[in-house]
Structure 1
Amino acid sequence: MERKFLEELGLEKESIDKIMAENGKDIEKAKGDLSTKETELETLQGQLKAANEQIEEFKEMDVEKIKAAADEYKTKYEEAQNKAKQEMEKLQFEHKLEGALSGAKAKNIKAVKALLDMEGLKLNKDEIVGLNDQLEKLKEENDYLFESEETTSSSTFIRPGNTNKNDKSESLGARLARKVKEN
């Protein structure tokens, strides 16, 4: 709407100013709405372009190859899980076996393990099945590998010239000093 049109209608200047001000608000609002819609349109056109490019990339893809790769990765994942489970079971078995051999008073756990038939041993929860029979047989045949059930007294080494058996903590220098004072 133009001011000249309103003047031709015979409206007063004050009324024309009010009408033009109100019309200006409407025009500015319409411009804002138009700007918003233009921005929205540009965004949508960009998204459409990106989607079309993605569709073109999908057209070039070999779906069967992707399915085969997914199956291959699934197989590798399952194999890795099984391997990890076997490793955990092996570690648990080794830990239980070493604990049992230590409890059986083996002097050298590595030597005793070398004489065991490992294929005859199976871990069942917290117990190694077949171990007791093999240990009994080993104790009969190779008793030197195990500490005896008898309690033995520990022998003490007495240095030559030391007649006092209870004087183990005195150093050589202290003993020499004592001997010099005695003479």
Structure 2
Amino acid sequence: MKREFIKGLLPDIGDDVLKQIMDQHSTDVGALRSKIEALETERDGLKTQLNDANTEIQSYKDMDIDGIKQKAADWENKYNTDTQALKDKLSEQEYSYAVNGAVSGMQFTSAAAKKAFVSDLKDKGLKLEDGKLLGLDDYVKTYKESDPHAFADDDGGDPQPRVVGRTTGGNAGGAMAAMRAAMGLPNNTKE
């Protein structure tokens, strides 16, 4: 609303009254403009939300739900398989440590005999409880009966020495002569 419009309608209006009318009009228009801006902002926000919701709904419509379910099942199977493989590996490692600990104090006649015993013991699959193989003593006893040459004597001492008889012949120069002969040097010792 303009001042000229009001003066045209009311030519006798005073300037104070006209000023009051114009001030009131400005206040009312300002309040309405503020409401309009708030409503426009709300409308724009709702439009954005509606567009986002429609886009999301369309993405759900476009989704391969069965494919997603299959991928979830595949990941669950992979997790279960990997977890079981890890448990098996840890059990195998623990069993191997128990076997190696059990044979560490045993005396074998050779490295091959020890290797064969360890392999047979692992194949036997004795039950492991608290880090110890149950039935190990019985297994060792049976193994010693079936292959007595695999184990060294358990008497705790050294094996019996083998005695060789004296050779005939005299001492022709002693140790020095023997060394010279071994080196291919002539024997210069006096007899």
Count of aligned positions = 148
Residues 97 and 128 of structure 1 are in contact (CA less than 8 Å); yes or no, is this contact kept in structure 2?
yes
Q: Aligned to 1:94, which of 68, 93, 96?
A: 96
Q: Does structure 1 residue 131 correspond to structure 2 residue 139?
A: no
For residues 35 and 107 of structure 2, the distance between their equivalents in structure 1, rounded to whole angstroms, comes to 89
- For 1:60, the equivalent position in structure 2 comes to 62
Q: RMSD in angstroms over aligned alpha carbons?
A: 3.7
Secondary structure of the corresponding residue to residue 80 of structure 2? helix
Residues 106 and 112 of structure 1 are in contact (CA less than 8 Å); yes or no, is this contact kept in structure 2?
no
Q: Aligned to 1:122, which of 103, 119, 127?
A: 127
Could you tell me which runs of 5 or more consecutive residues in structure 2 were left unpaired when the two chains were aligned. Answer: 159-191
Residues 120 and 130 of structure 1 are in contact (CA less than 8 Å); yes or no, is this contact kept in structure 2?
no
**Superposition deviation, residue 2 in structure 1:** 4.8
Show CA shifts across 1:50-101 (max 9, x none): 2212222322333233323322222222222222221222222222322333
Q: TM-score, normalised by structure 2?
A: 0.55
Work out which of the two has the higher radius of gyration on C-alpha atoms and give 1 or 2. Answer: 2
For residues 114 and 12 of structure 1, the distance between their equivalents in structure 2, rounded to whole angstroms, comes to 117
Amino acid at match of 2:151: D
For residues 127 and 111 of structure 1, the distance between their equivalents in structure 2, rounded to whole angstroms, comes to 20
For residues 41 and 58 of structure 2, the distance between their equivalents in structure 1, rounded to whole angstroms, comes to 26
Matches of residues 138-157 of structure 1 in structure 2 within 5 Å?
A: 138=143, 141=148, 142-144=150-152, 150=156
Q: Percent identity?
A: 24
Q: TM-score, normalised by structure 1?
A: 0.57
For residues 134 and 141 of structure 2, the distance between their equivalents in structure 1, rounded to whole angstroms, comes to 13
Show CA shifts across 1:149-179 (max 9, x none): 6377xxxxxxxxxxxxxxxxxxxxxxxxxxx
